[in-house]
Amino acid sequence: MEHFSKCPRCGELDVLRARCSCGYAVDSPGSLRPGPKSDSGDDQPPGAGQPRQSEGGVGTRERLVGVVMLFAGAVLSYLCVYEPLESAARQEAKVALSLKGAIVCPLAVVMGAAYLILGKRATDLFGTREHPSAVAWVCGVLLVLVGVGLYFYIKAALEAKGYQF
């Protein structure tokens, strides 16, 4: 995928269409040519003065990421926390315990809930995958430590019921 510069008129660029919302078009990376002028005859882009989705919108993409992460965390919580404890309560012969699942489930649940609730503000708070913020690092490390503690708690509870790991 090519990298395009920002539109000099509005600062935005839709890479999929290689055209920004004000009508400027991109011939090649970094090469912009003006699009049609607005109906009023001035050089203002249509919708000037109105906030764009990328500036302060609701963050639908971030909320969708939050839903997926929250769902994945819920599935991991069921499979890696609830199911082993429930199997031990039913006194099954074998109980499976997943270290990775127990560590990741708190991270997925909390971060998924944060992205779902905060929307666009979650990216502002946590940064991006390429450039995570200090808040993201602190939350990530703390949640991984919570996951490790959860794993050892489940393991101790299962060993107290006679299961060997």
Per-residue pLDDT at 43 exceeds 70: no
The DSSP code sequence of 131-163 is SB-HHHHHHHHHHHHHHHHHHHHHHHHHHHTT-
Per-residue pLDDT at 102 exceeds 80: yes
H or E stretch at 111? helix 99-118
How many CA atoms lie less than 13 Å away from 120 in the CB half-sphere? Answer: 9
Q: What is the mean pLDDT of the chain?
A: 80
Instruction: Render pLDDT for 130-141 as a digit per residue (tens, 0 to 9).
Output: 999 999 999 999
Per-residue pLDDT at 6 exceeds 90: no
What's the whole-model pTM score? 0.62
Q: Which of 4-13, 45-54, 67-76, 96-105 has the lowest mean pLDDT?
A: 45-54
Quick one: CA torsion of 20, 26, 29, 32, rounded to 10 degrees?
A: -90
- 58 three-class SS: coil
Per-residue pLDDT at 22 exceeds 70: no
H or E stretch at 27? strand 25-28
Please check whether residue 105 is in contact with residue 150, taking contact to mean a CB–CB distance below 8 angstroms.
yes
Confidence tier at 53 by pLDDT (50, 70, 90): very low
Per-residue pLDDT at 49 exceeds 70: no
CA distance 39 to 143: 53
Per-residue pLDDT at 100 exceeds 90: yes
